[in-house]
Structure formats: C-alpha cells, structure tokens
Structure 1
Amino acid sequence: KDQVTFILGTPLVIDPLTPNNWNYVYLSGAAGDVKRERTIVVVFEENLLKRLEGDVTVEGWSEQ
C-alpha cells in the first residue's frame, strides 16, 4: 500500500465498508472546464495489489 501511495498519491476516497478498495479520480483541463476525467480503483488483498479497475489500461499486467 505504501508503494501505491508513493506512485499514485493519497486516494480520494477509502470507503470504510470496503477499505481494501482505494478510489482515485484525475481531472484534466482548466478550472471549470474539465476536458477529461479518469477514475481508478485500486483493489488490495492481504495488503498486496490485487487488481486495478476503472477507465485505465495496464500493459503487461497479470494477476498472480
């Protein structure tokens, strides 16, 4: 989890009902004129990265 925080930053939301799912939202564009929004959900299992969900693609990723 520390490595994910180092790379992606502090998650926008950690739901207390699902604390192993961290939610990130990235907006790009000028203030008040969002051109693009990306969402990423990082899912952990036993404190290890299990998978990434959202509107991102990860090349070379395989769940082990």
Structure 2
Amino acid sequence: MQLKKWLIAIPLSVSLLSLSGCSVLERFVYRIDINQGNYVEQKEVNKLRLGMTKDQVRFVMGSPMLVENGYPDIWYYIYRHTAGHEAPVQKDLVVYFDNQGKLTKISGDYPPSKSFDDAAS
C-alpha cells in the first residue's frame, strides 16, 4: 500500500517540478493588450493629398509620433500593438514634406490612395 503511494507521488512531483520552470505556466498568467503610438487607419491615409500643408496633415492624421531633430520635414506615425502573449505587430507611416511644408510623398505599411496625386485645394 505504501509502495503504491510512492509510485504515484514521485512521477507526479517530478512532472510538477519540471513545469514550474517552464514557459507553459507563463501562458496561464494574464497579460493585458498594449497599444503604443499613433493608431492609423487606411481611411485616414486615403484623405491625404499631394500638396497638403503640415497643418492639414496634422488635422487628418493627428500629431506624429516622431519628428527627428534636423529633419523637420519627415514625420513618423508608428503604431505597435502587443496582444497578451503574442508577438508584437508594428505598422509605420512616414510622411514627407518639401521645404515649403507641402506634402510630397508617403511610405510605409499604408499605401497612398488612388487620388493621392490630385492636388489639395
């Protein structure tokens, strides 16, 4: 009878000890979703037009996440989403202006609209 208890207890304790240091238990710990940066949707990018001023772009897109020192005519809209235990997803939009502060091009994860080349009024 005593031997049966030990035959059950030893493998059970070994399996519990091996799980304690394993990342399997980490999956049971709740992690909140983390959103950082500028949330950008394609419908906002579709409103951008060649020749828009910086104020007009700021009105449509909001303030940029980053404007580098020395390069005030390049704005970065960066969005990073981490859902619980999943790998983070990052989406970027870079907006370029000329020396007069007029929008010249955009690049990144969001394509320009078909009417992007239509001059802004």
Report the aligned-residue RMSD.
Answer: 2.3
Out of 3, 7, 10, the residue aligned to residue 63 of structure 2 is 10
Q: 1:15 to 1:32 in 2, by over 3 A?
A: farther
Output the amino acid matched with 1:53: S
Larger Rg: 2
Output the amino acid matched with 1:3: Q
Runs of 4 or more above 4 Å deviation: 28-35
- Identify unmatched segments of 5+ residues in structure 1: none
Measure how far apart 1:56 and its partner are: 1.1
Out of 64, 75, 82, the residue aligned to residue 22 of structure 1 is 75
Structure 2 equivalent of residue 54 of structure 1 = 108
Q: Distance in 2 between matches of 1:25 and 1:18?
A: 17
Q: Which deviates the most, 31-40 or 17-26?
A: 31-40
Quote the sequence identity (%).
28
Measure how far apart 1:36 and its partner are: 3.5
- Identify unmatched segments of 5+ residues in structure 2: 1-53
Query: Which protein is richer in helix relative to its size?
Result: 2
Q: Provide TM-score, normalisation by structure 2.
A: 0.45
Q: Distance in 2 between matches of 1:23 and 1:39?
A: 7
Q: Secondary structure at the match of 2:94?
A: strand
Q: Provide TM-score, normalisation by structure 1.
A: 0.77
